[in-house]
Amino acid sequence: MASVIFRDETMTGRAVEEFELPGLPERISARELVRLRVREEVARHNAAPSHRFRGLVRPTDAEAELNGYRMRTARRLDWERQADAAEAAFARNGFLLLAGDRQIEDLDTEIDLTVDPVVSFVKLIPLVGG
């Protein structure tokens, strides 16, 4: 069994937040890793729902704020809906996915967690007026 460290980074490579998830197979697809990450962050939020959500993608009816999203009401989230949104965001270049020093360009790419145990997510901010 392997572990993965999910890390959020800035465009300059500075780590913003990270957490570890143990008990994974040694080889896993990028898609499965994205979905596992989202499932874990939603489970943590749902354990104590609040107006703030710190996650990869914005929940419906939430506003972006520094290091997270503000929801109108404290509520539980559906991890599958959030995971589907994360896959869609990846497809439209909403974030970069890095395994070690390698950029993952296809969610079907298999990642060897014994070689690349750190998976980084870099959210891309859309430019205004372009």
Model confidence pLDDT, tens digit, residues 43-95 = 999 999 999 999 999 998 899 887 789 999 999 999 999 999 999 999 999 99
CA distance 115 to 87: 24
Exposed (0-12), middle (13-18) or buried (19+): which is 70, by Cβ within 10 Å? Answer: middle
Three-state SS for 50? coil
Note the pLDDT of residue 67.
Answer: 76
Note the pLDDT of residue 82.
Answer: 96
Among 36, 3, 32, 30, smallest CA distance to 104 is for 30
Model confidence pLDDT, tens digit, residues 13-51 = 889 899 999 999 999 999 999 999 999 999 999 999 999
CA distance 56 to 89: 9
Note the pLDDT of residue 96.
Answer: 96
Lowest mean pLDDT among 2-11, 59-68, 75-84, 116-125: 59-68
Q: What is the mean pLDDT of residues 111-119?
A: 96
Q: 109 - beta bridge partners?
A: none
* Domain boundaries, given as residue ranges, for the chain: 2-123
Three-state SS for 93? coil
